[in-house]
Amino acid sequence: MAISRRPDVLVIGAGVIGLSTAVRLAEAGLSVQILAARPPRETTSASAGASWGPYELTDERVVHWSEQTRLTLEKIAEDPSSGVRLVRGLEVAPFPLEPPACVRNLNDFELCPADQLPPGYVSGWRYTSPLVDMPRYLEHLTRRLVGYGVEMEIAAVNSFKELTGRAAVLVNCTGLGARHLVPDDQVYPTRGQLVVVDNPGIETFFQDWAEHEDMTYILPHGSHVVLGGSATPGSDSLTPDPVRAAAIVERCSAVEPSLRHARIRQILVGLRPSRPSVRIERDLVDGNVLIHNYGHGGSGLALSWGCADEVLSLSELT
Ligand SMILES: Cc1cc2nc3c(=O)[nH]c(=O)nc-3n(C[C@H](O)[C@H](O)[C@H](O)COP(=O)(O)OP(=O)(O)OC[C@H]3O[C@@H](n4cnc5c(N)ncnc54)[C@H](O)[C@@H]3O)c2cc1C
């Protein structure tokens, strides 16, 4: 759809970061439009797991953004069509590890005795967390945007200069695309692969803290389960790797044997928009007020609402 009038804000990008940011700005009463090279269902965000699992907790901003996001996702979970559900599960590590404070403070947090952990793990704890079926959730956000009258145009932006005068404020939510658009050579892809299988009856999540490229997680979403995962920095191949997929199923089946013969529905591959730290700041480019909101790596969902709040405040429009 071609965009009609000049809005307060033009959000560039329609992944989870662009859509949540646009919802937050529209809720605040601003007129918002979205311009994106790819629609929501074709973004990296659509191929995420996805769990609210805060990490990189040495960055104070990240602690705050994840907490804001958890509170917002808990409210969204009240709508069963949103793709967000609150699910209890087990988080483990193969080495001695203290649970992070943001998890320890949750209402139903409890340490898991060592003799109840799957083989190979020495630390573990249980808590309830939002789990997100990303394709459904992106549809939920899109429906909310339609409700606010936000229009979306599908087209690539080659430079910010071409957007001069399009809106009072531009917001850059282009994820990995920021590498070329900004350009920002601190942005790089981290390839991830997941396997989606029929759910043999799993109702709790499982995820481990791995210190290597191959992690193990099991995220149930009703009729299907997302099995993970992998994280290969610097790789930008979107071709599924069948050997890695078989290894994912094997690792998850060692934890939950009912998965061994579950029918495989799909192998998903996505490129996380990695950066040493998330970039959220106000900038002036070719005469445009530009707010950057990119570089969320493997935590785009987990940080989305906290970052959207930050953009609203940086916009200085309310
Ligand atoms: C396998 C896997 C599992 C993951 N699991 C989790 C998880 O459990 N929890 C979690 O929090 N995160 C997870 N992530 C990370 C998460 O998916 C990302 O952090 C998140 O999707 C980033 O969102 P984004 O909106 O910034 O980028 P994207 O989803 O990539 O969206 C970018 C948007 O910008 C547009 N764009 C780019 N360049 C341009 C341009 N030049 N002009 C116009 N538009 C442009 C694109 O078309 C797209 O619409 C996972 C990722 C992978 C790959």
pTM of the shown model: 0.97
Query: What pLDDT, on a 0 to 100 scale, did the predictor assign at position 53?
Result: 80
Going 315 to 35 to 49 to 202, the CA torsion angle's sign is positive
Distance separating alpha carbons of residues 9 and 30, to the nearest angstrom: 7
Distance separating alpha carbons of residues 239 and 42, to the nearest angstrom: 15
**Do 182 and 316 sit in the same domain of this protein?**
yes
Query: Which H helix or E strand runs over 67?
Result: helix 60-76
Query: What pLDDT, on a 0 to 100 scale, did the predictor assign at position 55?
Result: 66
Q: What is the CATH number of the domain that holds 242?
A: 3.30.9.10
Query: What pLDDT, on a 0 to 100 scale, did the predictor assign at position 5?
Result: 77
Show the low-confidence residues of the chain (pLDDT under 50): none
Q: Are strands 84-93 and 205-208 parallel, antiparallel or unpaired?
A: parallel
**Do 146 and 225 sit in the same domain of this protein?**
no
**Do 53 and 142 sit in the same domain of this protein?**
yes
How many residues in the chain?
318
**Do 164 and 244 sit in the same domain of this protein?**
no
Count of other CB atoms within 10 angstroms of residue 240: 14
**Do 237 and 174 sit in the same domain of this protein?**
no
Q: 41: burial class by Cβ within 10 Å (0-12, 13-18, 19+)?
A: middle
For residue 110, what are its two tokens?
């409890």
**Do 25 and 77 sit in the same domain of this protein?**
yes
CA of 95 to the centre of ligand 1 (A): 30
Residue 207's nearest CA partner among 222, 217, 199 is 217
**Do 34 and 45 sit in the same domain of this protein?**
yes
Q: What is the CATH number of the domain that holds 284?
A: 3.40.50.720
**Do 52 and 22 sit in the same domain of this protein?**
yes
CA-nearest residue for atom 50, ligand 1, is: 48
Going 43 to 47 to 50 to 52, the CA torsion angle's sign is negative
Question: Alpha carbon of 254 to those of 48, 228, 247: distances in Å?
Answer: 22, 13, 11
Identify the domain containing residue 291 by its residue range. Answer: 1-83+133-187+275-318
CA of 291 to the centre of ligand 1 (A): 17
**Do 265 and 286 sit in the same domain of this protein?**
no
Query: What pLDDT, on a 0 to 100 scale, did the predictor assign at position 112?
Result: 96
Which one of 235, 257, 272 terminates a domain?
272
Using an 8 Å Cβ cutoff, are 160 and 288 in contact? yes
Distance separating alpha carbons of residues 273 and 59, to the nearest angstrom: 18
Domain count, the chain: 2
**Do 145 and 242 sit in the same domain of this protein?**
no
* Site to substitute for ligand 1 among 35, 38, 279, most atoms within 8 A of C-beta: 38
**Do 49 and 171 sit in the same domain of this protein?**
yes
Query: What pLDDT, on a 0 to 100 scale, did the predictor assign at position 56?
Result: 61
C-alpha 38: how far from chain center:
16
Query: What pLDDT, on a 0 to 100 scale, did the predictor assign at position 4?
Result: 59
CA of 49 to the centre of ligand 1 (A): 12
Phi, psi (deg, nearest 5) at residue 133:
-85, 100
Query: What pLDDT, on a 0 to 100 scale, did the predictor assign at position 318?
Result: 84
**Do 153 and 264 sit in the same domain of this protein?**
no
